[in-house]
Amino acid sequence: MSGAYEAVIGIECHVELRTRTKMFCGCVNEFGGEPNTKVCPVCLGMPGALPVPNSKALEHMVTAGLAFGAEVPAFSKFDRKNYFYPDMPKDYQISQYDMPLVVGGSVKYWLEDGTVRECRLTRIHLEEDTGKSTHAGSGDGRIAGSAYSLVDFNRAGVPLMECVSEPELRSAADAVAFLESLRRTLLALGVSDVKMEEGSLRCDANVSIRPAGSSDLGTKTEIKNMNSFRSVERAIESEIARQIEVVTTGGRVLQETRGWDEVKGVTHSMRSKEEAHDYRYFPDPDLVPLEVSRDDVDRLRASLPALPWERFNRYTHEYALGPKQATQLIDNPSLGAYFDRVVAASGNPQQSSNFVLGELSRLANETNTAVADSSVSPEHVAELIALVEGRRVNSKIAKELLTRMWQGAGSPGEIVEREGLAQTSDPAAIERFVDDVLAANPAVVAEYRAGKTNVMGFLVGQVMKASHGKADPALVNELVRKKLC
């Protein structure tokens, strides 16, 4: 970005909650299916039908709020947002206007280099999803130029959480990292599948620019139609560049909604915000107010799992793992849990991550089996770590042991015992190997003595080979060096 300007970005996202049934009726909440088969009088907005809120969806909201450190007000209510649209069955949406279930809080997120940041949330409220329209007759499925639309109400009434951030993000990378953290958190909580490709996570970005260091807010545009994290990043970057271009060429950014064109890689104007909607919000008279009890809040707070940003902190600070390794563990829940058990049993996070993210993950890829589902138990890995720490086996043997363990050979101690794989740390025995190797390679020895010290590795390797890998590598090094002097 041009150094003279900085971007101010806020994110609004819609997240479909994972429940068995829809928000206000007993229809199943499942992605896809034959059109108009998951509908009933309530979610079709039939005359006389009435909504009754899904208690699980309310619980998910409170859980999410607590995970983001937000306030869960004692009193909340549903309002009607009135506007006409063919895929909205009642031509109003049950939503929350001035008393959302969740207020404030923040998303803590980290960038690729491990920098941890925080973006505050304005609010999280609960509403119902709309149906889906398919636009026909325009050739490209787009609404512009279409001749008619086909409507499927299967998605209508699915519980939808709307999460609004403060405009505190400063770059496209920030925005993506924010979304990734939000997604990880909601996944960890089990409140949503958060799949952008299935539309269970949808987001819009509000973007503006201002002179770097200024505290003013510039005119913002709202970016829509971003279908992946990658497109969020590209769209925001492109929009920031566009706004800078507009401003530096003497133009003015207009407040408007802009759509992201994935193919062309640019945003384009969709509609002007000047025609402000008059949504005529009012309390939904079909529903009664919600009072979240402190007992429920305490119960849900107590049942929160370890949150991704907390784990990131622990992995990178306490365990001194790199941000990439930490992220890898967080993004693979079963592997992360496995790793945590190995650490708990071994007390050695560094070695645990070496084995879990290294050899075990490699084996998992090769055999297409999750580490957690393999025959290697975390306790066995911890046992192996202890063997390495006690210099009973060296790392090469350790790798072999892991392969044997993966194949179901049992505990590493037993294998070592059974197969005599214990490391040789007897200096006299090793010395014999060293002498043999030096004797067998006089030319190399001469090279070393002539100053070509990098041949040392070759000689060490030969000693290790001669010991069938069992010699203590540190001791071999030490003895080879001593003998060569």
Partner 1 sequence: MSGSGSIEWSAKQIAAAVRARELSAAEVIEETLAHVDAVEGVVGSYLTVLHDHARAQAEKVDGRIRTGEALPLAGVPIAVKDNMCLDGTRTTCGSKILERWVAPYTATAVARMLDAGAIPVGKANCDEFAMGSSCENSALGVTRNPYDTSRVPGGSSGGSAAAVAAYEAAIGLGSDTGGSIREPGAFCNLVGFKPTYGRVSRYGLIAFASSLDQIGPLTRTVEDAALAYDAMGGYDPMDATSIDRPLETTADALRDDLKGLRVGIVREFDTQALGTDLDALYRAAYADLERLGAELVEVSLPTADYGVATYYLIAPAECSSNLARFDGVRYGLRVEGDDVRAMYDKTRAAGFGPEVKRRILIGTYALSSGYYDAYYVRAQKARTLVARDFDRAFAQCDLIASPAASCPAFVFGAKSDPYSMYLMDYYTIPMALAGLPALSVPCGWVTPQWGSVPMPIGLQLAAPLFAERLLLGSAHAYERATRHAAARKPALERAGS
Partner 2 sequence: MTADSIDIGYVAKLARLALTDEEIEIFGRQLGDLLGHVNALAELDTASVPATAQVVESRNVVRDDEPRPCLDREIVLSQAPQRQGGFFRVPRIISE
Alpha carbons within 13 angstroms on the beta-carbon side of residue 277 total 10
Q: Is 260 in the site for partner 1 (CB under 8 A)?
A: no
89 touches which of partner 1, partner 2, none (CB within 5 to 8 A by kind)? Answer: partner 1
The single residue among 117, 120, 135, 314 that binds partner 2, judged by CB under 8 A, is 135
Phi-psi region of 391 (alpha: psi -120 to 50; beta: other; left: phi over 0): left
Would you count residue 41 as binding partner 2 (CB under 8 A)?
A: yes
Quick one: what does residue 45 bind among partner 1, partner 2, none, with the CB cut-off 5 to 8 Å set by partner type? partner 1
- Least Cα distance to 119 among 69, 167, 171 occurs for 167
Choose the binding region for partner 1 from 46-54, 57-65, 121-129, 260-268 (rule: CB under 8 A): 46-54
Choose the stretch contacting partner 2; rule: CB under 8 A; options: 105-113, 283-291, 318-326, 470-478.
283-291
Q: Which stretch binds partner 2 (CB under 8 A): 39-47, 172-180, 260-268, 318-326?
A: 39-47
Residue 38 as a binder of partner 2 (CB under 8 A): the answer is yes
* Closest CB to partner 1 among residues 51, 469: 51
32 lies in the binding site for partner 2 (CB under 8 A): no
Phi, psi at residue 33, to the nearest 5°?
95, 165
Q: Chain centroid to CA 227: how far? A: 16
Q: Which residue in 360, 376, 359, 314 sits closest to 340, CA to CA? A: 314
- Within 13 A of 206's CA, how many CA atoms are on the CB side? 16
98 C-beta neighbours (distance < 10 Å), count: 10
| 37 touches, from partner 1, partner 2, none (C-beta below 5 to 8 Å by class) | partner 2
Q: What are the backbone dihedrals phi and psi of residue 228, each rounded to the nearest 5 degrees, phi first?
A: -155, 165
Q: Which residues 62-91 are close enough to bind partner 2 by CB under 8 A?
A: 77, 82, 84-86
Structure token digits, residue 260 = 């992201």
Q: 49 touches which of partner 1, partner 2, none (CB within 5 to 8 A by kind)?
A: partner 1
| 35 Rama sector, left if φ>0, alpha if ψ -120 to 50, beta otherwise | beta
Contact characters 364-403, partner 2, x per CB under 8 A: ----------------------------------------
Q: Is there binding between residue 21 and partner 2 (CB under 8 A)?
A: yes
Q: From partner 2, partner 1, none, which one binds at residue 150 (CB under 5 to 8 Å depending on kind)?
A: partner 2
CA quadruple 73, 77, 82, 88: dihedral, nearest 10: 100
Closest approach of Cβ 89 to partner 1, in Å?
7
414 is an interface residue for partner 1 by CB under 8 A: no
Report the residue from 50, 306, 370, 446 that binds partner 1 according to the rule CB under 8 A: 50
Collapsing DSSP states into helix, strand and coil, what is residue 26?
A: coil
Q: Which two tokens stand for residue 277?
A: 């909607």
Q: How many whole angstroms separate alpha carbon 448 and alpha carbon 360? A: 37
**Within positions 449 to 468, which residues make up the interface with partner 2, using CB under 8 A?**
none
Residue 48 interacting entry, from partner 2, partner 1, none, C-beta within 5 to 8 Å by type = partner 1
Per CB under 8 A, which region of 97-105, 139-147, 212-220, 311-319 contacts partner 2? 139-147
CA atoms within 13 A on the CB side of 251: 9
Q: Which of 4, 28, 46, 136 binds partner 1 (CB under 8 A)?
A: 46
Only segment of 147-155, 180-188, 302-310, 472-480 that touches partner 1 (CB under 8 A) = 147-155
Report the distance separating Cα 320 and Cα 317, nearest Å: 5
If one asks whether residue 37 binds partner 2 (CB under 8 A), the answer comes out as yes
Figure out which of the listed residues 280, 324, 432, 465 binds partner 1, where binding follows CB under 8 A.
280
Instruction: Render the burial of 409-428: b for 16+ CB within 10 Å, e for the rest.
Output: beebbebbeeeebebbeeee
> For the window 84-123, what string marks contact with partner 1 as x by the rule CB under 8 A?
x-x--xxxx-------------------------------
For residue 152, what are the CA distances in angstroms to 51, 162, 176? 20, 22, 31
**Helices (H), ranges, 249-322:** 294-302, 308-313
Q: Among residue numbers 337 through 396, which ones bind partner 1 (CB under 8 A)?
A: none
Per partner kind, with CB cut-offs from 5 to 8 A, the member of partner 1, partner 2, none near residue 299 is none
Strand order in the sheet with 282-283: 92-95, 79-82, 282-283
Sign, CA torsion 271/273/274/277: positive
Q: Are 23 and 158 in contact (CB under 8 A)?
A: yes
Residue type present at position 52: V
Return the residue of 3, 34, 215, 420 that touches partner 2, per CB under 8 A: 34
Residues that bind partner 2 (CB under 8 A): 19-21, 25-28, 34-41, 44, 52-58, 77, 82, 84-86, 133-135, 137, 143-144, 146-153, 270-271, 275, 278, 280, 283, 285, 287-291
Which residues bind to partner 1, rule: CB under 8 A?
Answer: 41, 44-53, 80, 82, 84, 86, 89-92, 149, 151, 153, 278, 280-282, 285-288
